[in-house]
Amino acid sequence: MGFRLRARRWLGATVRRTRRYLDEVATVGPDDEYARRFHHFGRGAALIAPQGVIYNERYLSIGEGAMIGPGVCLTAGIGPDQQMLTTPVVRIGRRCVIGRGSHIIGHWSIELGDEIQTGPYVYITDQNHSYEDPDQPIGWQTPVEAAVRIGAGSWLGANVVILPGTELGEHTTVAAGAVVRGRFPGHVVLGGVPARVLRHYDPARGWVAGAPS
């Protein structure tokens, strides 16, 4: 083995060890000074490093034992120091697990129940652009907001998009890549664009294809 190869392997191993150490140190727990900026930061909760964009922490509530994965963006409003009309704007329940690279972007009210898990790159928002005026650029028109609520015990697969006004009942499964808007009962499987009920649980028959009658 040549000197260059040995040096490269040693340097690579050193960089990886250093990165792991820095990520461990940069992970935020409830006893860290930064956690005090949040509306609530529960015992046993963690913001895993490297963190995504996070601002207006005073409007963000993280429940006990919740784990926010690396690269997750948590925001209230469109910029730091914005005064919001509700508190908290984003509420993440106890023992939730938010997957890598996900975005939870709140403006009015986003509420995740307890023990919700998501895959990576899930996007949840309670605000959308409007397009009522055909002569004005869409990006300049007044956005529309509607509260989002996701029932406890639910699972959101990778790349799921949750749009404003969505309400999911408890123990809802959302298939990867689904785009969800509207109200759905608990104990169903959703999938598609736009999402629809693929299966539902019937106490007498178990899991049944289609939506409940």
Enzyme catalytic residues: 129
Angle at 187 between CA 112 and CA 69, to 5 degrees: 35
Q: Which residues make beta-bridge pairs with 183? A: 167
How far apart are the C-alpha atoms of 63 and 115, rounded to whole Å? 10
How far apart are the C-alpha atoms of 55 and 40, rounded to whole Å? 14
How far apart are the C-alpha atoms of 157 and 192, rounded to whole Å? 12
Closest CA to 123 of 141, 143, 150, 151: 150
| C-alpha R_g of the chain | 20
SS3 190: strand
